[in-house]
Chain A
Amino acid sequence: MDFSSTVASQLNAGVILPEGLVIITLMVVLVGDIILGRNASRQLSYVAIAGLLGSVVALYFQWDNSQTIGFLGGFNGDNLSIVFRGTIVLSTAFTILMSIRYIQQSGTALAEFVSILLTATLGAMFLCGANDLVMIFLSLETLSISSYLLTGYTKRDPRSNEAALKYLLIGAASSAIFLYGVSLLYGLSGGEIRLDAIAAQLTDLSSGQSLGVAIALVFAIAGIAFKISAVPFHQWTPDVYEGSPTPVVAFLSVGSKAAGFALAIRLLVTVFGQVTPEWQFIFTALAVLSMILGNVVALAQTSMKRMLAYSSIAQAGFVMIGLVAGSDDGYASMVFYLFIYLFMNLGAFTCVILFSLRTGTDQIAEYSGLYQKDPLLTLALSICLLSLGGIPPLAGFFGKIYLFWVGWQAGLYGLVLLGLVTSVVSIYYYIRVVKMMVVKEPHEMSDTVKNYPPIRWNLPGMRPLQVGLVLSLVATTLAGILSNPLFNLANSSISNSSVFQTASTPVILSESIINRQSLSE
């Protein structure tokens, strides 16, 4: 770093402009809620969406910024972080769209919900760019604590309370473990907190450091795996997903997960570059377990939200293939998949919310015969689920092909084959829902669907849901066919990122592949 420059340029505060916009929006929502009262809460959520979109615009203008390091190395706003922050902001905007009606119907305050959600978004965004240990931990905790609050937001629902408590206990434990791992890093590097400085200190692993680094690695991975709900750190997922308000689940499954993956890439590649074979081995195991357990257990679910919970575990398993591949293409495929996953998963959750708003249930069996009463919902949910299952020419197909192709190139034949086989399994449980909705004859219609209320989009808070539904439907259908720009975006976000300039040289990669092969033999 250039120490002769002024303090202002060292701070380089402009790099967190998108976060700044989110903070301002948060303030506006908070203060506006106090001044205007409950009647204005719907308008305030539109303000929040506008602020988030403004933040996306700010992110767009920061693309390819030459000065990416801000706050004396505390924050790194490179292209990689921009892509992840963009994904998170978009997922929050979507979540607000779908939560307006849901939260109002549950009888709780909407503006508070939006402000907590914005805080969680802020934490997740900072996490994507965090470049030192303190920053990582602070933003991680901001995200986590807001998530606990959101999980328990519907206070009168005992299941929501149960979910919040479970999430809090397990989350706090995993934070503690993560913090312990981070503190080991601090000690081993001789008191460094910046990731690249730590990496520079950890070059020589022969002198007793290696055991410490290994323990730090395992502890850090435990924290990350909790965030991305990889098996065996997934136990909270089904219960939390089932109990919490559905928009929160949507955010947790996309926004929070994206932040977890961003943290994984940055921490593992920068700090643990020396022990790449080890962490790749651990993530191979996590990916294998996640794909198998997520897909197999999802088969047996009767509740839509639980099924989507296990499916999100399985999807995280697929994404980990890109992480294990460890090449630039691998990270790009993760970015691409997460971006596509944003639309299809949030689309699916929008449909689930819409259905439960109209009928009050989320049992899969209750969906039977829905096509007769609500064709749009049936179409959107079918498209999103089929896309999650990787059926061409929907977006998910392209995402999966890219992940598998990259995995194959990195020599992860077993992992890719497992991914292929488990995606067949996943088609089975996704199509089961589609079958319920589309195939069932009128006389097999469930009672819920028989009493389906007439479709009225003009109720307060329904328009945003409709917008979200149509947007995700269009995006899921077309993002695959028109995916070349997205591919370019994902790839350039990786190739222009400073993280990979030093750490992941091809030599390490090829060594890691050899090592892994010798391990598996």
Chain B
Amino acid sequence: MLSAFILLPVLGAILISLVPNTNPNQNRPRIIALLFGGVILLWNVILGFQFDPSQTAMQFTEYIPWISWLGFNYHLGLDGLSLPLLFLNSFLTLIAIYSSNVNIQRPRFYYALILLLSTGVAGAFLAQDLLLFFLFYELEIIPLYFLIAIWGGGRRTYAAMKFLIYTALSGILVLAAFLGLVWFSGASTFDYEPLREQVIPLGIQLWLLAALLVGLLIKIPIFPFHTWLPDAHVEASTPVSVLLAGVLLKLGTYGLLRFGVGLFFEAWITLAPWLATLAAISALYGAFAAIAQQDMKKVVAYSSIAHMAYVLLAASASTPLALTAAMFQMISHGLISALLFLLVGVVYKKTGTRDVNVLRGLLNPEKGLPIIGSLMILGVMASAGIPGMVGFIAEFLVFRAAFPIFPLQTLVCLVGTGLTAVYFLLMINKVFFGRLTESLSQLPQVDWGDRIPAIILALFIVILGLQPSWMVRWSETDATALVVSPSLLSQVAQAPDQALSLGDELSMNVLPSRSGNN
């Protein structure tokens, strides 16, 4: 069942590449891609209904032995951490395909690559084998490289190469950590579940976790490993930016939760204060850098860095509530940044510029882009954490969960949230308010095709903001299961004299979640 998420896009990509080049109907690749995107999304919704959120175990698992000598198996599974992200991936892939330029150059290659990208991301979210995760993690690099390098802006080759090198480096660090983990734990396979009970000396764990962290922090990205992201975003076309910000970055944070917290809990707790500090620095850095930008897309890109830092903050707090919050923040950021990139894309398409100093008064109801502008204001409000929208719930959960554990870092991040309002208001104020300049008064009509994806995203943002439990219920159980690791429980059982301290730690971890959810 889960293999459909991997096989269907590949099948779609093959079908698309088989469309003859001479076909007069140049829309056929797009139609096939939309069809496959739709089927995948539908399949995802069906799976969502069959999914039982109260179970902690992996569901719908698939297991095929692959390379026995390596202990490498094709093992897929779905739990509350992967399901929302999988849904986000299917959803944003469809939106990206839909919002792609109808007359795009080399359509067959383009749509095939987007579907392959979807395969890689879905596979990484589903993989229950460390090497399989790494395989999909690397698989996504090449399609994205081409998507940036071929259909990007002026400096696209530079940006794409930078992306490639950073991500490849991130990949090998992750691989080194995985190899080390399996070797030192003496496990016979790269299977995820058995490895959670590893008992490696803390010193080695710290080294392995450090390698894993640097790898994943590049991907998220967190200051000081972030420099590829603004370049990649600015040069990438709108749909690619949507995918990059919406799902690709989530691979990093998902990896943090699944492998950082899940496999190295002891070392994670040791490093957590430093991670929280790094998150705070990154949040502030992203916010300040965003204030200084003149390019709308760069503003959104730097705001991505700031908002992804909250995920790291929540993950470093690593209580069940905090992990649920991290999941929520991932989804919230996925939706909001996708919306913002889409809208910036529409503005760029209609006006030909993204410079905040040139654009003015776009909210003008007659000659401007009123609906796009309104959606933009909504997206910005959501991003700044205005109540009633998904951003507020996510950030509130993050800060509520992190504050008891890292008060100082959380306060710094709160300042970062405040700054979100500053840079986005600066942008909105310049671009959408004021008098519409003469040069911009002859804007082409925005057709509904451009608005629909943005409106759907905005609906999700509002609905999840009003009804957060629809999202929380998926991840809560598994977030708890991730922290209360089997080894911790068995330690408590085996050593009653130490149970006091460990019990304290446990109760500290578990209690906030109760108070938070009541």
**Chain A positions near chain B (C-beta within 8 angstroms):** 329, 332, 386, 391-393, 397-398, 401-402, 404-405, 408-409, 416-417, 420-421, 423-424, 427-428, 431, 435, 438-439, 483-484, 487-488, 491
B70 and A405 within 8 A (CB): yes
Any A CB within 8 A of the CB of B141: yes
B179 and A405 within 8 A (CB): yes
B69 and A391 within 8 A (CB): no
A-B residue pairs, 10 tightest by C-beta: A420-B172, A392-B135, A439-B149, A424-B168, A408-B179, A487-B69, A392-B138, A392-B139, A439-B150, A427-B168
B150 and A438 within 8 A (CB): yes
Interface residues in B436-454 (C-beta closer than 8 Å to A):
none
Any A CB within 8 A of the CB of B46: no
* Beyond A439-B150, A488-B69, 14 extra complex contacts between A and B, CB < 8 Å: A391-B142, A392-B134, A392-B138, A393-B135, A393-B139, A397-B138, A409-B183, A428-B164, A431-B145, A438-B150, A439-B157, A487-B69, A487-B70, A491-B69
- Chain A residue at minimum C-beta to C-beta distance from B135: A392
Q: Bits for B131-156, please: 1 = Cβ < 8 Å to A, else 0.
A: 10011101101100110011000000
Contacts of A420 in B (CB 8 A): 172, 175-176
A391 to B120, CA, bound (A): 12
Q: How far is the CB of B20 from chain A (nearest CB, A)?
A: 12
Helix, strand, loop or mixed for chain B's interface? helix
Contacts of B138 in A (CB 8 A): 391-392, 397
In the assembled complex, 14 residue pairs joining A and B whose CB atoms fall closer than 8 Å, in A order, are A332-B69, A392-B136, A393-B139, A405-B179, A408-B180, A421-B172, A424-B165, A428-B164, A431-B145, A431-B161, A439-B157, A484-B65, A487-B68, A487-B69
Partner among B146, B160, B172 whose Cβ is within 8 Å of the Cβ of A424: B172
B172 and A423 within 8 A (CB): yes
A427 to B161, CA, bound (A): 10
Contacts of B169 in A (CB 8 A): 424
Given contacts A398-B67, A401-B70, A421-B172, contact A435 B135 (CB under 8 A): no
Given contacts A408-B179, A431-B164, contact A391 B141 (CB under 8 A): yes
Q: How far is the CB of A11 from chain B (nearest CB, A)?
A: 37
Contacts of A404 in B (CB 8 A): 175, 179
A118 to B68, CA, bound (A): 37
Given contacts A391-B138, A409-B183, A420-B172, contact A435 B131 (CB under 8 A): no
A329 to B71, CA, bound (A): 13
Contacts of B172 in A (CB 8 A): 420-421, 423-424
- Chain A residue at minimum C-beta to C-beta distance from B71: A405
- Determine which residue in B68, B70, B161 has the highest number of CB atoms from chain A within 10 A of its CB, and name it: B70
A402 and B157 within 8 A (CB): no
Q: How far is the CB of B140 from chain A (nearest CB, A)?
A: 10
- Chain A residue at minimum C-beta to C-beta distance from B74: A481
Interface residues in B157-194 (C-beta closer than 8 Å to A):
157, 160-161, 164-165, 168-169, 172, 175-176, 179-180, 183
- Chain A residue at minimum C-beta to C-beta distance from B69: A487
A386 and B142 within 8 A (CB): yes
Q: How far is the CB of B218 from chain A (nearest CB, A)?
A: 12
- Chain B residue at minimum C-beta to C-beta distance from A439: B149
A416 to B183, CA, bound (A): 13
Contacts of A424 in B (CB 8 A): 165, 168-169, 172
Contacts of A332 in B (CB 8 A): 69
A438 to B160, CA, bound (A): 13
Contacts of B134 in A (CB 8 A): 392
Any A CB within 8 A of the CB of B274: no
Contacts of B135 in A (CB 8 A): 392-393, 397
Any A CB within 8 A of the CB of B60: no
Q: How far is the CB of B449 from chain A (nearest CB, A)?
A: 27
A393 to B120, CA, bound (A): 10
A401 to B133, CA, bound (A): 13
A92 to B225, CA, bound (A): 47
Contacts of A393 in B (CB 8 A): 135, 139
Contacts of A438 in B (CB 8 A): 146, 150
Contacts of B136 in A (CB 8 A): 392
Contacts of A392 in B (CB 8 A): 134-136, 138-139
B157 and A435 within 8 A (CB): yes
- Determine which residue in B69, B150, B157 has the highest number of CB atoms from chain A within 10 A of its CB, and name it: B69
Contacts of B139 in A (CB 8 A): 391-393
B150 and A401 within 8 A (CB): no
A402 to B161, CA, bound (A): 27
B67 and A484 within 8 A (CB): yes
- Chain B residue at minimum C-beta to C-beta distance from A421: B172
Contacts of B146 in A (CB 8 A): 438-439
A401 to B178, CA, bound (A): 11
B149 and A435 within 8 A (CB): yes
Interface residues in B278-307 (C-beta closer than 8 Å to A):
none
A386 to B131, CA, bound (A): 19
Any A CB within 8 A of the CB of B66: yes
A483 to B68, CA, bound (A): 10
Q: How far is the CB of A380 from chain B (nearest CB, A)?
A: 14
A397 to B135, CA, bound (A): 9
- Chain B residue at minimum C-beta to C-beta distance from A391: B142
- Chain B residue at minimum C-beta to C-beta distance from A426: B168
A345 to B176, CA, bound (A): 26
Contacts of A386 in B (CB 8 A): 142
A435 to B164, CA, bound (A): 12
Given contacts A398-B67, A408-B183, A487-B69, contact A417 B168 (CB under 8 A): no
Given contacts A487-B68, A491-B69, contact A401 B131 (CB under 8 A): yes
A416 to B179, CA, bound (A): 10
A480 to B97, CA, bound (A): 30
Q: How far is the CB of A321 from chain B (nearest CB, A)?
A: 13
A491 to B168, CA, bound (A): 30
Partner among B67, B142, B145, B149 whose Cβ is within 8 Å of the Cβ of A487: B67
